[in-house]
Amino acid sequence: MGGLYLTIEAVSFLVCLVIYLPVAAFVSWKLMPRLSPLGKVLSLTLLAAHIIVFFFGLALPPASGFDAWLWDFTAEFNIPGVLASAQLTLIAALALANAWARRRDGWWDGCYFLGIGGIFLLLSTAEYSDQIKNIAAALFHWRVYVVFFGSAVAWLTLMDMQRQPRQRWAWHGTLLVGLLLTAVGGLLLDKWGSRCISILVSPADGCVKFGYYEEVVEYLGGWLIALALLGRLTAVSAALGRAAKALMLAFPVLWTALLIALVPLPPATQWTAHRPVKAQFESGVELHGFSLAIHDAAVHYTLLISPHAWDFAGGGYSIQLIDLATGQTVYAKDEDLTTRRAMRMAPGYVPVFPQVGSLEIPPDAPPNRAVKAVLTQWQRADGGFPLQRILNSDLPTLGEKQLVLEELVLRPRPSRAQPLALFDKGFALLSAALPARAQPGETLPLTFAWGSDVDYKKELAQFLHFVHADSGAWWGFDQQPLGARLPTRLWYSGLADSETWQVPLPADLAPGRYQVFTGLYRLRDERRLAVSDAAGNAYVDGRIPLGSLTLTRN
């Protein structure tokens, strides 16, 4: 019988009301009357937008998988994401409006509000831009930025509070409380995202996770910050003028429209990098494009697929490599079709979900064999996984259920032989070949294979030393590693090339056995580059032993 339980969504909605109602009631009682008519409309509109998002995201059960994604607080590029970014943009616009209205009141007021406006404009961009997030994450963890910017705004606010009359301190306090709530949501609740509580929730249904309220608390904190800036703006609203007020209101509206317009657009390379296709399976699944590439002993693929419904479940696809000559399957891979990847829109606004993966080519796969990459789509039904018929396609098919994507060649696996020597500048002597015997006065052929992992801008030369095993006498020969056709100042990352030297041996060289050494040195000061073997053991004097050469006279 278990007692009275509520759904997770209902509990979440109740928690939102418990958080919002006391704050909204207190603010409406204490602060709303002090706002201008425009300020009251803006603050109430923003609060109403929050309640609408909470209702559709929590109180109203989603009708489909699309509805669940569209209102999910933990997802990106949907309505809660747009609202979060638009609210940050509104805060930036209010701060900039305050700076403009106080432009004749002294430098401090202008710098204070310009600083807040710049910080929140950057945050609004980062809220909706993966590029900004990736650039920032390359330097520090995102929490570092939250603490830094939040502390900066709090410090500026406390400094400004000391300069203002006491009757304005309520707005400073409201802004500081908003910053505190934003920090609680962005730092603590995000960190505790996986923790959960089970109050009023049936154990069979799971639990309410703290991370779900990160956006909720951040919404409330942002609303209080906006309210504080509206309060500061009320005292100087007459200095704005109609044009400035219209621009202030248009800024977040235009930003929201821009974000909504950008949602269905793929990146610039989304379609140019894939082969467009029109193919439909019996289940309603459609293939709109794909790309295939072989490297690192694997076939890497991307399939641009749209399911028959947003709440698609129980289906998947298979990719096979079929030997062109024998018709045998070399490799096959099954994957569930997921709609949880980053959604894109195909031309005509068709929802597309990229399916990205790779097929490892077996080590025993025959090299230099042509194969067909074949796609099939299956659906779970009655305990089985029947393949779906292809209804229409502009690609060739094998029977009714196999779609031929492309013909590929399984190439030999790349050689993994260790290099002969590694230089500390990023070069590698991959191999060297020299004859075992020669005669003085002959031309000696030696072949060197080089590789580079860097772009190099300096001149180097390569030396050869022939050291007599008995007497210790030696003779040398120098030239550029790859000859005059490619000087080292033009070597680039990814270079792999070889050169066969034709070394003229002096006619008066003493016969006997010679140890042959090579290495690199800088032309400007003739200093040798440090070098080691593949295991990291340094070669003495920067000289690489190549083996022995025996000189004989007829």
Comparing C-alpha atoms, which of 57, 58, 33, 54 is closest to residue 43? 33
Comparing C-alpha atoms, which of 176, 212, 173, 178 is closest to residue 194? 212
What pLDDT sits at residue 253?
A: 74
Tell me the per-residue pLDDT of 472-488, one tens digit each, with 9 for 90 and over: 899 999 999 998 889 99
What pLDDT sits at residue 392?
A: 93
Phi (first) and psi of residue 132, to 5 degrees: -60, -45
Banded pLDDT at 196 (limits 50, 70, 90): low
What pLDDT sits at residue 138?
A: 47
Query: What does the alpha-carbon distance between residue 19 and residue 21 come to, in Å, rounded to a whole number?
Result: 6
Q: Residue range 298-306: average pLDDT? A: 85
Banded pLDDT at 106 (limits 50, 70, 90): confident
What pLDDT sits at residue 326?
A: 87
What pLDDT sits at residue 8?
A: 54
In percent, how much of the chain has pLDDT > 70? Answer: 75
Q: Residue range 317-343: average pLDDT? A: 81
Q: What are residue 515's DSSP bridge partners?
A: 467, 548
Q: What are residue 255's DSSP bridge partners?
A: none
Banded pLDDT at 506 (limits 50, 70, 90): very high
Largest separation between any pair of C-alpha atoms in the chain: 113
| b/e code 374-392 from CB counts within 10 Å (16+ = b) | bbbbbbeeeeeeebbebee
| Tokens standing for residue 372 | 């067909």
Tell me the per-residue pLDDT of 443-480, one tens digit each, with 9 for 90 and over: 999 999 999 988 888 899 999 999 998 888 999 999 99
Comparing C-alpha atoms, which of 508, 470, 491, 6 is closest to residue 208? 6
What pLDDT sits at residue 344?
A: 59
What pLDDT sits at residue 531?
A: 93
Q: Residue range 481-509: average pLDDT? A: 90
Q: Residue range 176-203: average pLDDT? A: 63
Q: How many residues does the chain have?
A: 554
What pLDDT sits at residue 126?
A: 67
Banded pLDDT at 264 (limits 50, 70, 90): very low
pTM of the model: 0.49
Q: Residue range 90-114: average pLDDT? A: 81
**pLDDT at 201 > cutoff 60:** no
**pLDDT at 518 > cutoff 90:** yes
What pLDDT sits at residue 197?
A: 58
Q: How would you classify residue 297: left for phi > 0, otherwise alpha for psi between -120 and 50, otherwise beta?
A: left
**pLDDT at 519 > cutoff 50:** yes
Query: What does the alpha-carbon distance between residue 362 and residue 446 come to, in Å, rounded to a whole number?
Result: 37
Banded pLDDT at 61 (limits 50, 70, 90): low
What pLDDT sits at residue 95?
A: 86
DSSP result, 455-522: ---S-EEEEEEEEETTT--EEEEEE-TT-TTS-GGG--TT-EEEEEEEEE--TTPPPEEEEEEEEEEE
DSSP result, 357-399: EEEEPPTTSPSSEEEEEEEEEEE-BTTB-PBPPEEEESS-EET
Instruction: Give the ranges where 71-198 is alpha helix by DSSP (H).
Output: 79-101, 107-128, 130-137, 142-163, 169-183, 190-191
Comparing C-alpha atoms, which of 332, 351, 340, 334 is closest to residue 284? 351
- Rounded to the nearest integer, the mean pLDDT of the chain is 78
**pLDDT at 199 > cutoff 80:** no
Instruction: Give the ranges where 193-240 is alpha helix by DSSP (H).
Output: 214-234
**pLDDT at 216 > cutoff 60:** yes
Residue 193 near residue 210, CB atoms below 8 Å: yes
**pLDDT at 211 > cutoff 60:** no
Banded pLDDT at 122 (limits 50, 70, 90): confident
**pLDDT at 378 > cutoff 60:** yes
What proportions of the chain, in percent to the nearest 5, are helix, strand and coil? 40, 30, 30
| Tokens standing for residue 137 | 């994450």
| Tokens standing for residue 495 | 């270079």
